[in-house]
Amino acid sequence: MRLEARSGTARTAQLVAPFVAVLFTLLVCALLVAWAGAPVGRTYALLFEGAFGSRFALSETLTRATPLILTGLAAAVAFRARFYNIGAEGQLYVGALAAVAVGAQGGALEALPPTLRFALMMLAGAAAGALLLAGPALLKVRFGVDEVVTTLLLNFIALLFVSMMLDGPMKDPLAMGWPQSAALDPELELSKLMARSRVHSGLVIACALALAMWIVERFTTFGFALRAVGANARAAAFAGLPVARTLLLGALISGALAGLAGVGEVAGRTSYLTLDMSPDYGYSGIVIAMLAGLNPLGVIVAAVFVASVLVGADSMSRSAGVPNYLADVIVATSLLAILVAGMFTRYRIRWNSR
Amino acid sequence: MSELYDIVASSAFWIAVLRIATPLIFGTLGVLLCERAGVLNLGIEGIMVAGAFCGWLVVFQGADLWTGVFVAALAGALLGLVHAGLTVWLGLSQHVSGLGLTLLATSLASYAYRVSFPKVSTPPTIEPFAPLDGLSGLPLIGPALGAQTAMTVLALALVPVIAWILQRTPVGLAVRMAGENPSAVEAQGVSVLAVRTGAIMAGSALMGVAGAFLTLSAFNAFFFNMVNGRGWICVALVVFASWRPGKALLGALLFAAFDALQLRLQQSSGLLPVQLPYQLYLMLPYILSIVALVVMARRAAYPQALMKPYRKGER
At A63, phi and psi to the nearest 5? -60, -45
What's the one-letter identity of residue A243? V
In this prediction, residues A241-245 reach a mean pLDDT of: 93
Q: Is A321 left (phi over 0), alpha (psi -120 to 50) or beta?
A: left
Give the minimum alpha-carbon distance from B20 to chain A in angstroms, rounded to a whole number. Answer: 18
Residues in chain A within 8 Å Cβ distance of B86? 336, 339-340
User: Which structural domains are found in chain A, ordered by start?
Assistant: 37-322 (1.10.3470)
Closest CA to A266 of A44, A64, A96: A96
Query: pLDDT at position A164, please?
Result: 94
Residues in chain A within 8 Å Cβ distance of B97? 336, 339
**Which distant-in-sequence residues (6+ apart) come within 8 Å of A213 by Cβ?**
A73, A76, A77, A253, A257, A296
Question: B86-124, pLDDT tens digit by residue?
Answer: 999 998 989 999 999 999 999 999 999 999 998 777 889
Angstrom distances, CA of residue B257 to CA of A30, A76, B254:
46, 39, 5
Residues in chain B within 8 Å Cβ distance of A329? 104, 107-108, 111
User: Which structural domains are found in chain B, ordered by start?
Assistant: 2-118+151-297 (1.10.3470)
pTM of the complete model: 0.93
CA distance A187 to A190: 8
* Contact status of A168 with chain B (Cβ, < 8 Å): yes
Give the minimum alpha-carbon distance from A349 to chain B in angstroms, rounded to a whole number. Answer: 9
In this prediction, residues A263-271 reach a mean pLDDT of: 93
Query: pLDDT at position B273, please?
Result: 67
Using the predicted structure, report yes or no on whether residue B297 has a pLDDT greater than 80: no
Closest CA to B74 of B97, B107, B57, B51: B51
Give the minimum alpha-carbon distance from B84 to chain A in angstroms, rounded to a whole number. Answer: 13
- In angstroms, what is the C-alpha Rg of chain B? 20
Task: Say what the ipTM of the complex is.
Answer: 0.91
* Contact status of A149 with chain B (Cβ, < 8 Å): yes
Size of interface A-B (CB pairs under 8 A): 131
Torsion angle, alpha carbons of A272, A274, A276, A279, to 10 = 40
Question: Across the interface, do B236 and A149 touch by the CB < 8 Å criterion?
Answer: yes
Angstrom distances, CA of residue B148 to CA of B30, B52, B135, B194:
21, 18, 9, 37
Question: Across the interface, do A168 and B277 touch by the CB < 8 Å criterion?
Answer: yes
Residue A237 CA, distance from chain mean position: 30
Asked whether A74 and A254 are in contact (CB, 8 A), the reply is yes
Asked whether A192 and A200 are in contact (CB, 8 A), the reply is yes
Give the minimum alpha-carbon distance from B18 to chain A in angstroms, rounded to a whole number. Answer: 23
At A104, phi and psi to the nearest 5? -70, 150
- In angstroms, what is the C-alpha Rg of chain A? 21
What average pLDDT does the structure give for chain A?
91
CA distance B138 to B115: 46
Asked whether A56 and A315 are in contact (CB, 8 A), the reply is no
Question: Across the interface, do B111 and A154 touch by the CB < 8 Å criterion?
Answer: no
In this prediction, residues A280-297 reach a mean pLDDT of: 92
Asked whether B232 and B45 are in contact (CB, 8 A), the reply is yes
Question: A219-241, pLDDT tens digit by residue?
Answer: 999 999 999 999 988 899 999 99
Question: A303-354, pLDDT tens digit by residue?
Answer: 999 999 999 999 999 888 899 999 999 999 999 999 999 888 888 877 765 4
